[in-house]
Amino acid sequence: MDGTAAAGDRNPAGGATGPSGAGHGTERDDPADAGVPGHPSGDAGKATGRTGRNLPAAVAVGVALGAVVIGSLYFVKVAFLVVVLVAVGVGVHEIVKALGDHGVRVPLAPLLAGMAAMVLGPYWGGATFLVGAFAVTVMVLLTWRMFQGAEGFVKDATGALFVAAYPALIAGFVPLLLAPEDGPDRVIVFVAVTVCSDIGGYFAGIFLGKHRMSPLISPKKTWEGFAGSTLACVVAGALLVHFLLGGDYWAGAIVGLAGVACATLGDLVESVIKRDIGIKDMGTLLPGHGGAMDRLDSLLFTLVPTWLLLTLLVPVA
């Protein structure tokens, strides 16, 4: 979710940047990256804004996705799992296609079947079902690839297992978060904390961003943007955990701190993946956002720590 390299730097994916600092980067701009020296801001009045995004489209898509999430959560809980299933399924397809373009053959059909089992089954079968579904998926993937010959087996099998774990296995914690009676509220805490990382980083990055956080991985992500993300996540976590789940403010603050750390790591990991395979976005499904995986990256990394912390600090009454 990050921008292009700074002027004079060489893009890790192989492309040199231009004299203006707006290189032929491998990924789109991250909201927390705005404001850093060398950012290709353009005119403030343009639709793309200072982050390089089509901001009206990005906002419209974000509002629409939020409405779908909230509507499905509080209408029929299982309907939300269907939304997750579709989103993660698109993400799996995007990664498989990207790896295929990079010479790694990953079988899509068994991956989607295993992903569906991991996203739906744990709602009724719990963590035991999730572990079992993942193990069976791994066995099927290895066997499937075996019948295609020995050449490139390790490379292709490694790619398949990577996608089976990220995003499929991690997404399997959504039904575990949703299953309790107050599950929809727990999901809202998880999603809101992750989104606040994006929003807080956006504004702090635009107005204060100067000091680069990780030039080699995400050249325009700034410490000021990270500070804005942290403040937004801690406040949101404290308030939402207290008022939605009846937990202590300090417990919500811890959830917020874990959320901003993991959301940032999720962004950076996705950036490394895209740089390695030489692409800008994982897809074009969501105007102003990129592909499904460009939106799921921080959510995936925030999901498991949030589930774990809420389970430990805010047990179901």
pLDDT in tens, 203-237: 777 766 676 776 666 666 787 888 889 999 999 99
Distance of CA 88 to the CA centre of its chain: 10
Please report the pLDDT score of residue 217 as a whole number: 63
Residue-wise DSSP of 54-120: -HHHHHHHHHHHHHHHHHHHHH-HHHHHHHHHHHHHHHHHHHHHHHHHTT----HHHHHHHHHHHHH
- State the average pLDDT over residues 151-173: 97
Region of 25 on the Ramachandran plot (φ > 0 left; ψ -120 to 50 alpha; else beta): beta
Is the predicted pLDDT of residue 197 greater than 80, yes or no? yes
Checking if the pLDDT of 19 tops 50, the result is no
Q: Domain residue spans in the chain?
A: 31-313
- Torsion over CA of 183, 184, 187 and 189, rounded to 10 degrees? -100
Mean pLDDT for 115-141 is 98
Query: pLDDT-derived band of residue 6, with 50, 70 and 90 as boundaries?
Result: very low
For residue 283, the SS3 value is: coil
Cα 172 to the center of its chain, rounded Å: 14
Return d(Cα 304, Cα 291) in angstroms, integer.
Answer: 22
146: amino acid identity, one letter: M
Q: What is the distance between the alpha carbons of residues 281 and 167, in angstroms, rounded to a whole number?
A: 16
**244: confidence class by pLDDT, cuts 50, 70, 90:** very high
Structure token digits, residue 94? 């995007």
Contacts of residue 156, defined as CB under 8 A and 6 or more positions apart, other chains included, come to 104, 105, 106, 145, 148
Tell me the average pLDDT across 178-200.
94
Cβ atoms of 271 and 150 within 8 Å: the answer is no
Q: What is the pTM of this model?
A: 0.78
**pLDDT score of 179 more than 70:** yes
Q: How far is CA 140 from the centre of its chain?
A: 26
pLDDT for 171 equals: 97
Least confident range from 14-28, 64-78, 174-188, 258-272: namely 14-28
